[in-house]
Copies of this chain bind each other. A is one copy, B any other.
């Protein structure tokens, strides 16, 4: 696809859904020589090797990143900074490090504090995923047609940024640049808030259930569709809430304000104002392509 984009040695730390799917894209597009998988447990790494996602593996970060031209950190968001710090002393000059965390500002600030000269960090967030996890969940084309947000700062190396952009484009993503704080604000609204709300909705219904309702069995399509995201990993969303606290609290407050207003309209029976509120939401929702 692009003659200039080639990484002789790639290390992927965390060969799960995202890391594994990126490995498939790297190999498919012939963008790399070999891929070393790095992880905590050999079981998932063995599976990744068997599936042909990686060429070798190790549980030792030092060994894994040695000599790598590109290091992709695709571990849970709360571990990204720690993993990068652990890898730093062993990176060769010119190495590009990128990540796939769903919160960016804390990671970018943390990494920029410790990044030595001659090694380059480009923060990224491919907006893709399924409910599944682990190397076995990796699929071809996961990033195709999906947005990938890169969050460069004035300290980001231009050449490294270009390389990472090309990498995600080769994987089929539509790459967008955004400041880290802006990224976190946007994701707080379109992703973190919906999850927090879905979890709360299910718990509210469950509270009533306990008082003897047997409610859940009367739930129709709406509730099921609406609360599917409440099946997401509690540990992952706990970490997101920890790392993107300020933006999430802010958007929760905006949501609470709107909900309070609607509640008072319902209390007062202001039907035409209620309808206008719903119509506005429907217009926005209908504008989102499926």
Which residues of B lie under 8 Å from residue A251 when comparing CB positions? 204, 208
Segment touching B, from A30-38, A133-141, A154-162, A227-235: A227-235
B284 and A194 contacting across the interface, CB-CB below 8 Å? no
Distance between A215 CB and nearest chain B CB, rounded to angstroms? 5
**Identical copies of this chain, number:** 2
- The reply on A256 being an interface residue by CB < 8 A is yes
A237 and B278 contacting across the interface, CB-CB below 8 Å? yes
- The reply on A200 being an interface residue by CB < 8 A is yes
Taking A271-B238, A284-B206 as contacts, is the C-beta distance between A260 and B255 under 8 angstroms? no
Residue interface mask A102-145, B partner, CB < 8 A = 1: 00000000000000000000000001110000000000000000
Give chain A's interface secondary structure class. Answer: helix
Segment touching B, from A3-11, A52-60, A69-77, A262-270: A262-270
Tell me, in angstroms, the Cα distance from A282 to B260 when the chains sit together: 26
Query: Measuring CB to CB, which residues of chain A are less than 8 angstroms from any residue of chain B?
Result: 127-129, 146-147, 149, 176, 185-187, 189-191, 193-209, 213, 215-232, 234-235, 237-239, 241-242, 245, 248-249, 251-256, 258-260, 262-263, 266-267, 269, 271-272, 274-275, 277-282, 284-288, 290
Known: A198-B226, A230-B284. 18 other contacts (CB 8 A): A127-B218, A129-B220, A176-B218, A190-B223, A194-B201, A194-B226, A194-B227, A199-B282, A203-B284, A226-B229, A230-B285, A234-B279, A237-B274, A237-B278, A238-B271, A241-B266, A248-B266, A249-B267
